[in-house]
Chains A and B, each alone.
Chain A
Amino acid sequence: MKTFNYHSAKDVKEASKLASSSSAFLAGGMTTIPSMKLGLATYKNIIDIKGIKKLSGIKVSGKAVTIGATTKHAEVANSKEIKKAIPSLAALAEGIGDPQVRNRGTIGGSIANNDPAADYPSACIALNAVIHTNSRKIDAEKFFKGMFETVLKSGEIIEAIEFQVPQKSNYQKFPNPASRYAIVGVYVAKHKNGINVAVTGAKSCVYNDKDLAKTLSSNFSAASINNVRVSSSGMNSDIHASAEYRANMVKVFAKKAVEAC
């Protein structure tokens, strides 16, 4: 691995000030460190934001669950408050990677990285999340731009993610047996003001399947999904699954999620 300078930032202002085109913020490092070891990414400066207390923690009110950016997956998975308010969100966290990833990896890191097969981006879309950064609030629908790409600017730091508590919701995924990343994952959430069907793993970026959402709005049942056609156009195709297979899995896992709602 190439050498770098390690900085432990004491607050968000300092972290943001240190940022440049050759730096990276470090939280859990579950993607950043392997990428650096493999030579896929090199940085002159690593800015550790784990020590910033304000960025960690869970707040639950009647309408919203707000999770600090450096909160670890294990903390979300084990939170009694989240299990009560949005059980599907705690279950999603429990299904990420392996226990060691869950003990280190963070929600902010997952979202900032926007891996096409990551779990959390689907939760953001399904649960109408608002991403709070050090400079603005961004609706999840506008946050995820494309493969490994978000609207975050240089020096912008995610501080917290605010999820809307749904009436009911469920997340089902077909995990890659080795990595537990989603080959296809579908997060269904029924809110007072509408239904979201967020799909991850299937395309280059998480998306809200409007056709499935529309169908479920008129008839919230697994059977109603049978008549929806999910096109394989634009779907990922790799050694794990073809585009056509993924398109079918979107339906299969949407049905499973609706049944488990």
Chain B
Amino acid sequence: MKKIDVEINGKRISKEIPDHTLLSDFLRNILNLTGTHIGCDTSQCGACVVHVNGRSIKSCTAFATDLNGSKITTIEGLAKNGKMHPMQEAFKKMHGLQCGFCTPGMVMSAIDLLKNKKNPSDKEIRDWLEGNICRCTGYQNIVAAVKEAASKM
């Protein structure tokens, strides 16, 4: 067991957890933050993407113990005072989701893209979302949503 101290969505959290706990399991099973989804559990699909110290990572492929002292943001941490994040608004407006399973990861990944590039091209968006798989939309509206968000952020 290891004790870890992290900041999750602005809240300080201190827990004792088994050494081999994955960040995805820590979030979902211990903290009940089930907005972070586990799709493939083998680092392919990207449904589990969260931000650690501002950068996107796949939470199914990181040990929580290894992130001691980090600042973590999950999909639950995006809305402020009941108002959705511009990326969430854009996904809603442009119909960037159907079943919604991949959406938390898509949104977290896309926000990281806009931190790197303010106005990405279609190709840059598609390249960046290489690690996020959606089996419903065909990606057209996801790309449209990211462009919409880029114009608002």
What are the residues of chain A within 8 A of B2 when measuring CB–CB? 6
What are the residues of chain A within 8 A of B22 when measuring CB–CB? 1, 37
- Closest residue of A by beta carbon distance from B113: A99
A34 touches B42 (CB 8 A): yes
Which residue from B19, B66, B128 sits with its C-beta under 8 Å from A50?
B66
A100 touches B131 (CB 8 A): yes
Closest beta carbon of chain A to B74's beta carbon, Å: 14
Q: Is A146 part of the contact surface with B, judged by Cβ < 8 Å? A: no
Closest beta carbon of chain A to B126's beta carbon, Å: 12
Known contacts being A4-B20, A5-B19, A38-B42, is A99 close to B128, with CB within 8 Å?
yes
A33 touches B131 (CB 8 A): no
A178 touches B109 (CB 8 A): no
- Closest residue of A by beta carbon distance from B59: A100
A29 touches B42 (CB 8 A): no
What are the residues of chain B within 8 A of A104 when measuring CB–CB? 57-58, 61-62
Q: Is B122 part of the contact surface with A, judged by Cβ < 8 Å? A: no
Q: Is B103 part of the contact surface with A, judged by Cβ < 8 Å? A: no
Stretch touching chain A among B43-51, B90-98, B143-151: B43-51
B131 touches A99 (CB 8 A): yes
Q: Is A58 part of the contact surface with B, judged by Cβ < 8 Å? A: no
Closest beta carbon of chain B to A14's beta carbon, Å: 16
Q: State the CA gap A180–B65 with chains docked (Å).
A: 29
Q: Is A231 part of the contact surface with B, judged by Cβ < 8 Å? A: no
What are the residues of chain A within 8 A of B139 when measuring CB–CB? none
Q: Is B88 part of the contact surface with A, judged by Cβ < 8 Å? A: no
What are the residues of chain A within 8 A of B49 when measuring CB–CB? 100
Q: State the CA gap A231–B117 with chains docked (Å).
A: 43
Known contacts being A37-B42, A178-B44, is A100 close to B20, with CB within 8 Å?
no
Q: Is A3 part of the contact surface with B, judged by Cβ < 8 Å? A: yes
B19 touches A30 (CB 8 A): no
Q: State the CA gap A98–B58 with chains docked (Å).
A: 10
A99 touches B41 (CB 8 A): no
Q: Is A74 part of the contact surface with B, judged by Cβ < 8 Å? A: yes
What are the residues of chain B within 8 A of A33 when measuring CB–CB? 43, 61-63
Which positions 227-250 of chain A face chain B at CB distance < 8 Å? none
Q: Is B18 part of the contact surface with A, judged by Cβ < 8 Å? A: yes
Which of B's residues lie within 8 Å of A, judged by CB? 2, 18-20, 22, 41-44, 46, 49, 55-58, 60-63, 65-66, 68, 109, 112-113, 128, 130-132
**6 closest Cβ pairs, A-B complex:** A98-B131, A6-B19, A98-B130, A103-B55, A100-B58, A6-B65
Which of A's residues lie within 8 Å of B, judged by CB? 1-6, 8, 26, 29-30, 33-34, 37-38, 46, 48, 50, 74, 97-101, 103-104, 178, 180
A-B contact pairs, 25 of them (CB 8 A): A2-B20, A4-B19, A5-B19, A6-B20, A6-B63, A6-B65, A6-B66, A8-B68, A26-B63, A29-B62, A29-B66, A30-B43, A33-B62, A34-B42, A34-B61, A37-B42, A38-B42, A50-B66, A100-B43, A100-B49, A100-B58, A100-B131, A103-B57, A104-B62, A180-B130
